[in-house]
Chain A
Amino acid sequence: GDSVVQTEGQVLPSEGDSLIVNCSYETTQYPSLFWFVQYPGEGPQLHLKAMKANDKGRNKGFEAMYRKETTSFHLEKDSVQESDSAVYFCALSELNGNKLVFGAGTILRVKS
């Protein structure tokens, strides 16, 4: 079945550091790819998305490129802020409906 792998359980950059959060996926279909962000006590919210290969999702200084050749969708930011601290989930969705497959999540704690 489909799967999404996030290799880092937690990342601890300092404010102003660059960031890469890894996401790899496996599927036999042609999925759409997403990053969701979850703050304490809230449900996940869509952070950015890419609907097809070579699309780049962007939001609040974060970017992720849909790379079909490496089946990856890494989340990047040039300079993180303390307010970026949250849990980030990578997810894929097949063409049929709103069923999402989520990665395990990466806790981002930015040190001030």
Chain B
Amino acid sequence: KAGVTQTPRYLIKTRGQQVTLSCSPISGHRSVSWYQQTPGQGLQFLFEYFSETQRNKGNFPGRFSGRQFSNSRSEMNVSTLELGDSALYLCASSPGRDPTGELFFGEGSRLTVL
């Protein structure tokens, strides 16, 4: 069974640009969550989608947005990039909507903002 796939794995952007990251969950999983990981702030929840609907949202500015498609694939977008957005962005998929901890993380997309 294929795991969670995130693309691209690495990318470099400059301040003011925007970026779109993609996540393909494990087949059959309907919940996709996004997390930002930095050395200073650790792992922080961005948002969760279930059946194309945003179910939870973390405390990030409106520059961070996401969506989920009917095949459960998800994208997140960051507009007007700032230096502080440099981070590892992790996607996690889960079979359903209950917090069983059965989250399966991808390897992440490492974003560097110059």
Contacts and interface: CB of A to CB of B under 8 A. Distances in A.
B15 interface: no
Given A32-B100, A34-B101, A49-B101, A44 B45 contact: no
Interface stretch (A11-19, A60-68, A98-106): A98-106
Contacts of B22: none
A102 B33 CA distance: 14
Interface string A82-112: 0000000101011111111111110000000
Interface in A3-53: 32, 34, 41-46, 49, 51
Contacts of A43: 4, 90, 92, 105-108
Contacts of B92: 43, 98
Most buried by B among A46, A93, A100, A105: A100
A49 B56 contact: no
B96 to A, nearest CB: 9
B97 A98 contact: yes
B103 A100 contact: yes
26 contacts: A32-B99, A32-B100, A32-B101, A41-B107, A42-B107, A43-B92, A43-B106, A44-B90, A45-B105, A46-B101, A49-B101, A91-B43, A94-B99, A97-B55, A97-B56, A98-B31, A98-B94, A98-B97, A98-B99, A99-B33, A99-B56, A99-B58, A99-B99, A100-B33, A103-B42, A105-B43
**7 closest A-B pairs by CB:** A43-B105, A93-B99, A102-B43, A99-B56, A49-B101, A34-B101, A97-B56
Interface of A: 32, 34, 41-46, 49, 51, 89, 91, 93-105
